[in-house]
Amino acid sequence: MNNGKGFFITGTDTGVGKTLVSCALLHAFAAGDNTVIGMKPVAAGCENGKWMDVELLVAASNVMAPREQVNPYALIPPLAPHIAAKQAGIEIEVEVIYQAYLALQSMAEIVVVEGAGGFLVPFSDRFDSSDLAQKLGLPVILVVGLRLGCINHALLTAQAVRAAGLTLAGWVANSIDPQMLKMEENIKALEQRLECPLIAYLPYMQPVDELRSSELLDITGLIKN
């Protein structure tokens, strides 16, 4: 297991499968007899009184923790986090999230932290998702939503992760557009350029299946230390 006892999951955009991959990782690590907890520091978008990303992460965890630690900031409108927070009269604070993470870290061997949107999404006027990732200091796993334009988005995200001084531990190719042309060629282009392991190719699934996806992940390189 890595020294940070966890991973930070980011994506090329919103809606590219970060929650699917985070849950699949939790299932995969748990299958290896690890205690695991999923964390969603900032969730925006409430449906029927629930934040579905958070519910899915809780369901995929094998250690239960207080909801305010799993999800310190639960924002109702489905807006960019800094806008939703301002609308609610809340300021998202990195130290609050960090302390919640430390509490989770004391409960489980591996904490999977799912980011919000892309790697540079703002949380306030003063800090963004990359600042949070730096504070946590965790290896980053990049979820690439396979669709037209994903190569540029993935390479820019990888550049931002490394510029923040963080390790890009691997990436997941997630098929979100079943009509995408030349998918294999796009994956090959990213394999040649991202300079980190491809953890899995996840085929298009409707509905998504976290358990099936977990079986497709190659996590051996993630926990070897």
The pLDDT tens digits for 105-125 are 999 999 999 999 899 999 999
E strand or H helix at 171: strand 168-175
CA distance 161 to 167: 7
**Domain CATH number, residue 25:** 3.40.50.300
**46: in domain:** yes
Report residue 69's pLDDT band, with 50, 70 and 90 as the boundaries. Answer: very high
**224: in domain:** no
The count of structural domains within the chain is 1
Grouping H, G, I as helix, E, B as strand and the rest as coil, residue 81 is helix
**198: in domain:** yes
| pTM, two decimal places | 0.94
Q: Does residue 4 register a pLDDT over 80?
A: no
Domain that includes residue 33, residue range: 6-216
Digit-coded pLDDT (tens) for 167-185: 999 999 999 999 999 999 9
CA distance 85 to 174: 29
Residue listed under structure tokens 């604070």: 93
Among 2-6, 37-41, 112-116, the minimum mean pLDDT is found in 2-6
pLDDT at site 49: 83
Tell me if 84 sits within 8 A of 75, measured CB to CB.
yes
Q: What separation in angstroms does the CA of 135 have from each of 25, 103, 178?
A: 22, 15, 37
Q: What separation in angstroms does the CA of 62 have from each of 19, 34, 71?
A: 16, 9, 16
**Could you list the active site residues?**
40
